[in-house]
Copies of this chain bind each other. A is one copy, B any other.
Amino acid sequence: MEGCNSGSRHETNPDCGLISVVGTGIGSADNMTPQAVRALTEADVIIGYKTYLDLIPELLEGKEVISSAMMQEVDRCSNSFDLAESGKRVVLVSGGDPGIYAMAGLVLEIAAKRDSRVAIDIIPGIAAVNGCAARLGAPLMHDFAAISLSDLLTPWEVIVKRLDAAASADFVIALYNPKSKKRTEHIIQARDIVLSYRAKETPVGIVTAASRENEVIRLTTLDGMLEEEINMQSTVIIGNSTTFSWNGYMITPRGYRDKYTLAK
């Protein structure tokens, strides 16, 4: 369709279609919002990485589905724009929340590059950090930092600086992409950086394949965390100086001052 480039966010061309960016949340459609499900229901075309599409088969029935392999994110996004600019309602599916380390950014980067006037709807979802925290108990009750250990697009020195800053200022730390088959040393360095500021008994939670059939939840410590299985499906949450474990739960108090008493 002509004229589908150059427009403002509030001056989209209705003939130019729509790209909705949707996340599967964690596990299954049981963790997707009505808003996200509605986008899929109303879609002309659904595009996504096969692993995520496989989590929501009931939402794909009767739909045109374009399933693609890992590492083709840019092609997937460009394809979405081509289809939307021909007037279609396209849903691009990612895992978790599309707005946290996922596809929302790439869609908007490409929109900016194309100066597109396709309507774009980013629909929030349950991110790994939210979902894994819930499975562990309540580790994110106080200030936290999310850090990806993947140095594919970010220099390792930048990541080290962030680990150091977050550890020194007593943030709860959520590690994304903690370890892959090729990248096994980063998690060791990350652990050592945090250990230089915090006690070895500091609680650490590891959730792998959150809310899926093969889910594994491990509650350990900074000292013991490297003995646990950690892989690309894992999220690692390291407590702050006040985080404690009780009865299999990881709990960060909501403050430092004894300003509230807990009735028994």
Contacts from A to B (Cβ < 8 Å):
7-10, 25-26, 29-35, 74-75, 78, 97-102, 104-114, 120, 122-127, 130-131, 133-135, 137-148, 152-155, 158-159, 161-162, 164-166, 168-171, 244, 246-249, 251-257, 259-264
CA distance A99 to B155 in the complex (A): 31
Are A137 and B122 within 8 A (Cβ)? yes
Q: Which residues of B contact A260 (CB under 8 A)?
A: 74, 153
Q: Is the CB of B148 within 8 A of A143?
A: yes
User: A7 vs B158: C-alpha distance in the bound complex, in angstroms?
Assistant: 44
Specify the chain B residue showing the minimal Cβ separation from A122.
B134
Q: Kindly report which residue of chain B lies nearest to residue A34, judged by CB atoms.
A: B30
Q: What would be 17 A-B contacts, judged by CB atoms less than 8 Å apart? A: A74-B260, A74-B263, A99-B134, A100-B141, A108-B137, A108-B138, A112-B244, A122-B133, A124-B130, A126-B126, A126-B130, A140-B146, A152-B255, A153-B255, A154-B255, A161-B170, A166-B171
